[in-house]
Amino acid sequence: MEKIRAKPPGAIITDCLSCRLQFQHEIPYPVFHPMGILARAYLNRRSPLSRTDSGEE
């Protein structure tokens, strides 16, 4: 986590559910599954990634 905090990312991408849950609870950056990123690309959505797109409610 220190390495992620040292270089703040725009978002984090992981296919691991455990990692995604841990990241969502411990750091303030949006976390996405790779398939969500691919789906977004295929839909040709032009809006930037936001926390609401990560599946969080």
Q: Give me the pLDDT at residue 34, please.
A: 94
34-52 in b/e form (b: 16+ CB < 10 A) is eeeeeeeeeeeeeeebeee
56 occurs within a structural domain: no
Q: Give the chain's domain count.
A: 1
Supply the pTM of this predicted model: 0.63
Phi/psi region, residue 22 (left: phi>0; alpha: psi -120 to 50; beta: rest), is: alpha
Asked if residue 32 belongs to a domain, the reply is yes
Indicate whether 41 belongs to any domain. yes
Is residue 10 a contact partner of residue 37, using CB atoms and an 8 Å limit? no
Is 52 a residue whose pLDDT tops 60? no
Domain range enclosing 19 = 2-48
Residue percentage of the chain with pLDDT more than 90: 40
Do the domain assignments include residue 57? no
